[in-house]
Amino acid sequence: MSTQTMQNSSESIMHLAETVGAHNYHPLPVVISKAEGVWVWDPEGRKYMDFLSAYSAVNQGHRHPKIIQALKDQADRVTLTSRAFHNDRMGDFLKKLSDYTGFDMVLPMNTGAEAVETAIKMARMWGSKVKGVPNGKQEIITVAENFHGRTTTIISFSTDPEAKDHYGPYTPGFVTIPYDDPAALEAAINENTVAFLFEPIQGEAGVYVPSEGYLKKTYDICKKHNVLYIADEVQTGFCRTGKKFAVDHEGIRPDAMCLGKALGGGVFPVSAVVANHDVLGVFTPGTHGSTFGGNPLGAAVALAALEVLEDENLAERSHELGEYLRGELRKIQQPKIKQVRGKGLLNAVVFEDDFQAWDVCVALKEKGLLAKQTHGNIIRFAPPLVISKDEVDHALAVIKSVFEAIA
């Protein structure tokens, strides 16, 4: 083996990353050097099926030709202007996203966490300027086991010790209630409550799907008390759950949505908050911003990403193949499996509480399928939405062989 080959081997690449990089992740022992559709390859040429989709950022599949072409074409024209000037791509993107979501206004950002931070600022400003809550008294209600990002403010209302511990002092102004408990929401609301921030399906908590009717009940409670209903659809949005957005399963129209991940088509970080003018219109020049938010390169990519979702009917595909995938997973004979749950192509297999799924994920990797555990005992299965029925069957054969071999 040549020196150059050794330097580019999976082993040497992983060693370099672990030596020089901070140890804030514990990735599976695999290196991805090429990708297309639902498939990825390592430097040695081994082929794997991606069943994580970069936490739902690759809904349109890896390197979708239309999205890649939009990236290349725009890179040859202009990539960044900042919001100090207009650019000729942002307007088209904002109009497309407004039409796609049905909201009047869009505020573009870059990452999902930035979208959530924007929604928090929006809710607080709305509470002060519109609802009349004294500034500094605004409260936002969140739910246990949430995951909205990693910023200092966001982890202040996390209940995950790994995300929160040792990062104090914590940002005040948040009240945490149990998930899937409308009565707890009603009891927590007071005169200073400005918003209820939640995930329609909790992804990082293990694809926790709330009881049917939960969204409608909590929506009605917020409307009764003049509280903003803010859905974090960063992971559940853009056809992942079999609808455009997870709130669509109960016909709910939130006051605002936080969007990201698949909005960038798997090639560029693009996020946004969408709402109507009476809510998002509280921002005025200078009150919030982002140097890269709405940049022409990201706008061109996001516009193509939205068109792919529509042109290829990915919501319908996600629904149909998700129903099939869950049905087949439930047939697997493995007594340690306690539940298979999900919507669309956002799914999880829940093992016994004390089960550690890391070795199972490694075994899946050895057989050519990449998935990752969460909370130790839960494995999430979320392939790109462009996956075919034959590819789902291939994945099921791998999963069945590994699961039935668990001692």
Cα 182 from chain centre: 24
Question: What are the structure tokens assigned to 144, written together?
Answer: 């246990």
Distance separating alpha carbons of residues 293 and 306, to the nearest angstrom: 17
Q: How far apart are CA 333 and CA 327, in angstroms?
A: 13
105 pairs with which residues across the strands? 275
The answer to whether the peptide bond before residue 169 is cis (omega within 30 degrees of 0) is: yes
By the 8 A CB rule, do 288 and 118 touch?
Answer: yes
Catalytic residues: 147, 232, 261
Q: Which helix (H) or strand (E) element contains residue 65?
A: helix 65-75
Tokens encoding 336 = 């340690």
**Exposed/middle/buried for 53, CB within 10 Å: 0-12, 13-18, 19+?**
buried
List of E strands, 281-377: 337-343, 346-351, 369-370, 372-374
CA dist., res. 73 & res. 340, Å (int): 43
Q: Which residues pair with 258 in a beta bridge?
A: 232, 273
Which residues have a Cβ under 8 Å from the Cβ of 242 and sit 6 or more positions away? 249, 315, 316, 318, 319, 322, 343, 344, 345
187 to 133, 134, 221, 225: CA distances (angstroms) = 19, 21, 10, 11
20: number of Cβ within 10 Å: 7
Can you tell me the distance from the alpha carbon of 50 to that of 37, in angstroms, rounded to the nearest whole number? Answer: 9
Q: Is the torsion defined by CA of 237, 29, 110, 35 positive or negative?
A: negative
Phi first, then psi: give them for residue 188, nearest 5 degrees: -85, -20
